Structure 1
Amino acid sequence: MRMTGKHISLADAAGLIPDGAVVSVSSSSGLGCPDLMLKAIGERFEATGHPRDLTTLHPIAAGDMSGIKGVDYIARKGLLKKIIGGSYPSGPSSAEPPLIWQMIGANEVAAYNIPSGILFDMHREAAAKRPGVMTKVGLDTFVDPSREGCAMNASAAAEPVVKKVAFEGEDWLYFKAIAPQVAIIRATTADERGNLTYEHEGAYLGGLDQALAARNNGGIVIAQVKRIAKEGSLKPHDVRVPGVLVDYVVVDPDQKQTTQTLYDPAISGEIFRPLDSFRLPEFNIQKAIARRVAQELEAGSAVNLGFGISANVPRILIEEGLHGAVTWVIEQGAVGGVPLLDFAFGCASNADAFMPSPYQFTYFQGAGFDASLLSFLEIDRTGSVNVSKLSFRPHVTAGAGGFVDITARAKKIVFSGMFNAGAKLAVADGRLVIEKEGKLRKLVNAVEHVTFSGRRAVEQGQDITYVTERCVMKLTPEGVMLTEIAPGVDLETDILGQSEFPLIVSDALKPMDPALFGEGPIGLTLPAKAPRRLKGGADG
């Protein structure tokens, strides 16, 4: 049924987008994705050939490989001219690549991977009519124009989006602000005036900033919602995007909360789940690694969490009776609670608060938090890390997302992963057994894509640890140093002989805790974080 006023049909909303428009889409994979709106744009193009030559902005990502198509609805030659994303849909190597990856690989669309926080910053600068973003986030990584400059293919490389500039004697990266003509955002409820509330959403993401960028530059804002409410029925404190910023509203009564979740009230903070309802990880090698990562934490810390092995660390703390000892902070905006796994990653149950993603990234870029737990695909001799590109399996990686924003100045980072890819491993009597060595080395002379710069980490005095199943390493000014070795592992054969570059062996090399490799809890204790004090103290 066609609705009046701001509330229009999906087809009519898709018809509002002109050829050549810059369109900003709010989403984080399946979380908050305006999926039906993107589908309507794709259907209009298939039927009419319009809109054509769009530039789309996706600060985190839109869609995934398991139930939310997102950007794949508009991944059509002729429809997309340029795409700028914090990350992209990813999937298993055995699956057919998403359509957007096929377009990127065929050079049919100029594709860029700009860190999510910077992309949000570009929206805010556009909204305020400022020229752009100057930042040190991304220096000496793939973001830096001395490397790839965020370009994902030849079409993008021909049209740079970032330049290095000198300002007051220092090098900075400059990104020109991009003003969208259309912002497509999502919420739970819209009233008849277009005021938006987010009561069933797992995060606020960046809808407000994207709406401001479009509205302040003469564009339009389209909101996809689950339901319509009577004018005046929404509590003003609950409205996250006011109706004065929203031009049109479309309805998807079946929109999913995240990829495979229609609605879970614990994700949106409406109820709290009992701790014993969270699935604890079964014992395996990855759990041993997550336990060792947990030993790096301090009670009272605010800790960022990434995808991969480290995502299990909150459940390690639950198992050890230490839930609440640290506060988890994730880029989608949740603060506290228990970050979720798999396709619900980016959501948290029992959160203390939800921050809008752009402000969470400000917190990360300025290193206001205490530590970050992240994964690695490759580590090289300088301590640099790649998580964003594998040429032989490009669609398996999603891009960097907020990884570069988070790591740029973080005080402490713990990277985790398997030492080699494809090794057959077992545990016996608290000892690691390498039954068959992996074919793919992950400690390489030079990483394929620099997502994290070891050189800058050393310059800035960042505390960097790498945890694998067979050893623990630290980044030092002299190189990557081996500090711990798993019981049962041979130093020469299983570690030094499996690295493409020479590892420094610490004079104080010690065994990893054998309890890590056992079935039951390890009796984890966390030292208290030192209280925050201003320099000078009470006595000046």
Structure 2
Amino acid sequence: MNKVTSTTAEAVASIPDGARVMIGGFGGSGAPIELIHALIDRFRATGSPKNLTVINNNAGNGSIGIAAMIKAGMVAKMVCSFPRSSNAEAFNEKYLAGEIELELVPQGTLAERIRAAGAGIPAFYTPSSYGTELAEGKPTEEFDGKMYVRERWLKADVALIKGQKGDPMGNLTYRLAGRNFNPLMAMAADRTVAQVAELGEPGSIDPEQVITPGIFVDTVVEVPEPQQEEVLVRTGVVY
């Protein structure tokens, strides 16, 4: 039951080429920067993993985190809602050069596709995107006089998420808005790796405060002073 690993490098060591990787966070809030950078370090050292499909709310900012993954050439496809955020040059350059694929998903639909995968629901209907290019090729149906688009669940091989406090069994809490996509992604992936700012003993988290139960988490690593994406971008850090 002890799911703790000692380093971020060990935590991401088994992610293979071509994996579908969900990465938590809403912008920098709840983004597992240390896990992402450990994955980049592994790529620079070994050339793997590559050809990844990354699922996130956006396509990264500046030269750190997901943007650094894209710049390094690790990412073959982005599935996200906001590919062009305030400082998304890494994605823009790769996309315009035809070196990365984009699947654009409305934000609410993205969240529900991930939630549906975790709940075992293979498809659902939503009015979002009806009549737009995003609905092309997808089944539609009318309910009570309104048209809906059928969307499929969204699964991943691995989820990289960030919690506030965890225990050796993988139970997690989150800090404020850092919760965002993280609990959903933990449920929708075959394997979940979580970094936490504080690692307590079994029983140190009140059961009523647990947001992600340990059944959805496979690996936990403690990162006592996690970095914040926005701070790194503002200070011009290049990873």
Using the size of structure 2 for normalisation, the TM-score is 0.85
Q: Is the 8 A contact 2:195 2:223 kept in 1?
A: yes
Shift of 1:28: 0.8
Larger relative contact order, structure 1 or 2 (CA cutoff 8 Å, min sep 6):
2
Query: Which residue of the partner structure matches residue 229 of structure 1?
Result: 200
Query: Which residue of the partner structure matches residue 180 of structure 2?
Result: 205
Aligned ranges 1:123-522 → 2 under 5 Å: 123-145=114-136, 163-167=138-142, 171-198=147-174, 200-214=175-189, 219-256=190-227, 259-260=230-231
Q: In 2, distance between residues paired with 1:27 and 1:48?
A: 27
Identity of paired residues, percent? Answer: 29
Shift of 1:84: 0.4
Query: Which residue of the partner structure matches residue 105 of structure 1?
Result: 96
1:240-280 deviation digits (Å, cap 9, x = unpaired) = 1111211111232221467239xxxxxxxxxxxxxxxxxxx
Code of the aligned partner of 2:226? Q
Code of the aligned partner of 2:24? S
Q: In 2, distance between residues paired with 1:77 and 1:257?
A: 20
Shift of 1:72: 1.2
Shift of 1:106: 1.1
Q: Is the 8 A contact 1:45 1:51 kept in 2?
A: yes
Query: Which residue of the partner structure matches residue 51 of structure 1?
Result: 49
Change (3 A) 1:170 1:90: closer
Secondary structure of 1:37's counterpart equals helix
Query: Which residue of the partner structure matches residue 64 of structure 1?
Result: 61
Q: In 2, distance between residues paired with 1:209 and 1:187?
A: 13
Shift of 1:128: 3.0
Dislocated runs of 4+, deviation >4 Å: 167-170
Q: In 2, distance between residues paired with 1:88 and 1:255?
A: 24
Code of the aligned partner of 2:206? K
Q: In 2, distance between residues paired with 1:118 and 1:17?
A: 26
Change (3 A) 1:255 1:122: same
Shift of 1:35: 0.7
Query: Which residue of the partner structure matches residue 74 of structure 1?
Result: 69
Q: Is the 8 A contact 2:195 2:220 kept in 1?
A: yes
Change (3 A) 1:88 1:255: farther
Pick one of 111, 116, 119 that aligns with 2:110: 119
Q: In 2, distance between residues paired with 1:27 and 1:255?
A: 13
Q: In 2, distance between residues paired with 1:62 and 1:83?
A: 7
1:105-149 deviation digits (Å, cap 9, x = unpaired) = 11111112211110111112222333223211122345332xxxx
Q: Is the 8 A contact 1:86 1:113 kept in 2?
A: yes
Q: Which moved more, 1:129-138 or 1:227-236?
A: 129-138
Q: In 2, distance between residues paired with 1:72 and 1:204?
A: 21
Secondary structure of 1:226's counterpart equals strand
Q: In 1, distance between residues paired with 2:73 and 2:28?
A: 25
Q: Is the 8 A contact 1:30 1:62 kept in 2?
A: no
1:389-441 deviation digits (Å, cap 9, x = unpaired) = xxxxxxxxxxxxxxxxxxxxxxxxxxxxxxxxxxxxxxxxxxxxxxxxxxxxx
Aligned length: 231
Secondary structure of 1:260's counterpart equals helix
Q: Is the 8 A contact 1:185 1:221 kept in 2?
A: yes
Q: Is the 8 A contact 2:65 2:229 kept in 1?
A: no
When you count helix as a share of all residues, which structure comes out higher?
2
Code of the aligned partner of 2:203? G
Q: In 2, distance between residues paired with 1:77 and 1:107?
A: 15
Pick one of 12, 26, 29 that aligns with 1:28: 26
Secondary structure of 2:18's counterpart equals coil
Shift of 1:79: 2.1
Shift of 1:63: 4.1
CA-based RMSD: 2.5
Q: Is the 8 A contact 2:173 2:211 kept in 1?
A: yes
**Which structure has the larger Rg over C-alpha atoms?**
1
Shift of 1:22: 1.1
Shift of 1:55: 1.1
